[in-house]
A and B are shown apart, each in its own frame.
Chain A
Amino acid sequence: MKHRFLITAMALLIALAAGSLLVAVPIAAQATTQGAAAAWTPPKTPWGDPDLQGIYTSDDYIGLGMNRAAQYGNRLYFTEEEIAAREKTIATTAQRDAVEFATPGGNVGTGPPGHWGERARRSPRQTSLIVEPENGQTPALTEEGRQRQAMYTRQGAGTARPEDSWEGYTSYIRCITRGIAGSVIPVIYGNGTEIVQGPGYVAILQEMVHEARIVRLDKSPHVGSNIKTYMGDSRGYWDGNTLVIETKNILGNKTGIGGNGGGTPFSEDAKFTERLTRTDKDTIQYTMRVEDPRTYTAPFTFTFPIRREPGYQNFEYACHEGNHGMMNQLSGARADERAAAEAARQNR
């Protein structure tokens, strides 16, 4: 009699445990529908993950800008007329880029010709990259953020001022990195992103500056908070067909959301959440949400599509190995100073 009761009790306990595990599944299934609703179902890799692999570019969003022009207000999308006008400009630019013969006696300056840049193939649909907050503007900086911005401006990034040393240049000009946000935001060339997947891993390879982010999908924890890197530590998971990547442990005071990672640098406590969803055979919608309360008064999100284009591929971006620009700019600055000193000497 006692024996039977014990067995029944044990059986009941096991059944309860098993039952609770079964209950856990439907709750997880609910969460998957909250991801970006894609009507198109992507193919799967042989091990059953959604397949995001390929080489993509954000060229179409070159020049759009993070912040929305004030005239659009809270309107996120261009009208069909606005798109048509932009597509006309794209076509004229392509024509001019293809002009094969130089004009004898044409204007030549220290800047490069336009066709050295890469171009949008079609008009962007969005009026800005930023979609949160609703007005499409970067949130205001905190006091600490303003101090960091002042430090960045002093560096003279984007100007032609001579510098005392290489430290006055951005991490990009120094061929170090563009940081986690700067490596993906479209600029005038080099906008390639390649995604390679394996079971438990995603590699995100970005052309400039030859970045290779490894995202672990095995639910392993982030490395310890004393290990900080330029690109941070990334761990990811699948939310339905969306790859969600959580990144922290970045080196603070180095890179921001400006062009090529310039702009107000993030703090070391910044957290980044990326979402990648394949919306058709050639397109992934890429989204990044930035939470850096030490720098920005609110979190913000930017998004844009990246596309496979016929013939588009990444090439090695060996930068530091031949950074003549850095050498020559410093050399030029020292030459300017010598010339000025010589002129002062002669005027005495």
Chain B
Amino acid sequence: MRHRYLSFAAAVAALALTFSVSMKVLSAQNAPNTAPARIDGKPNFNGLWQALTGANWDIQDHSSEPGPYYQLGATFAIPAGQGIVEGNEIPYRPEALEQRKKNRLNRWTADPEIKCYMPGIPRANYMPFPFTIVQGTTTIAFAYEFATSNRVVRMTNHQKAPVPSWMGWSNGRWEGDTLVVEVTGNNDQTWFDRSGNFHSDAMKVTERFTLRNPDVIDYEATIEDPKTFTRPWKISFPLYRRLEKNASQLEFKCVEYTEELIYGHLRKPTN
């Protein structure tokens, strides 16, 4: 009796071993470990992310407002939103505040997003489009869907920005499990939102990315720009992993949607 039990147990154990070994081989071959918890000792930020705030409309608290054309009614009106600015105050210098007011009045023509211009940092992180983070060890790439904007964060061999650019020059480092990115070399052409909040080419953005859990990043950014603001200020909001089945980065090359607006006056007259 005991003999039969022992041989049965042994058989099951042997089969379990065979099965687990073959499953490991199977998983190594068919389903590569594409989502390890850590990479080279650091948290894994790879994947498709998107912000859920209304900050692209206005990074401060705002009520709902009409859109640019009454013919589009509710579809393109502005929803109310809670801001992402800590303390809800943007410390503009007095003359800069006047410029911000002018920008806001001209938001339906002067916002660079309308012309499909690259949005710069930090705005690219909270536009209503997903983006992919590809995290290696020496370089981390951010591929934003809007206008195929992108940037690389250099984790080693930090250089100074050679010229100003739209997406800036990103140098990164780790502080424990937080990815810290300093973005300099920003030109003065981008806005923070569709409401005219702006900056100068002296702006430096210091971003901090911390994984709250595998599907949420706590993002914050400190803005320093003594030409525009009286002191540094901060924005913060979560970034959510896109979890739809086969959620994939698509493409929003929007230049074609802006050509009539930009060049229409130079079209050959038909008369």
Contacts and interface: CB of A to CB of B under 8 A. Distances in A.
A321 B117 contact: yes
Given A176-B253, A227-B250, A45 B137 contact: yes
A227 B247 CA distance: 13
B268 A165 contact: yes
B266 A197 contact: no
B180 interface: no
Interface string B254-271: 011011001100111000
A316 B134 contact: no
Contacts of B132: 201, 203, 214
Given A198-B136, A316-B166, A212 B246 contact: no
A211 interface: yes
B267 to A, nearest CB: 5
A105 interface: no
A15 B12 CA distance: 10
Interface in A153-180: 163-167, 174-177
B116 interface: yes
A223 interface: yes
A78 interface: no
Contacts of A175: 255
A274 to B, nearest CB: 17
A321 B167 CA distance: 12
Contacts of A320: 115-117, 255, 258
A250 B31 CA distance: 27
Contacts, number: 174
Interface residues of B, number: 65
A203 B47 CA distance: 11
A318 B263 contact: no
Contact of B256 (A15, A176, A330): A176
Contact of A201 (B33, B46, B116, B139): B46
B15 to A, nearest CB: 5
Contacts of B200: none
B137 A210 contact: no
A217 B33 CA distance: 10
B250 to A, nearest CB: 6
A198 B135 contact: yes
Contacts of B256: 174, 176
For the complex of A and B, the 3 pairs showing the least CB-CB separation, nearest first, are: A200-B34, A229-B251, A212-B150
Interface of A: 4, 7, 11, 14-15, 17-19, 21-22, 24-25, 28, 45-48, 53, 163-167, 174-177, 194, 196-203, 205, 209-212, 214, 216-221, 223, 227, 229-231, 233, 315-316, 318, 320-321, 326-327, 330-331, 333-334, 337
6 contacts: A46-B40, A166-B259, A201-B134, A205-B141, A205-B150, A219-B32
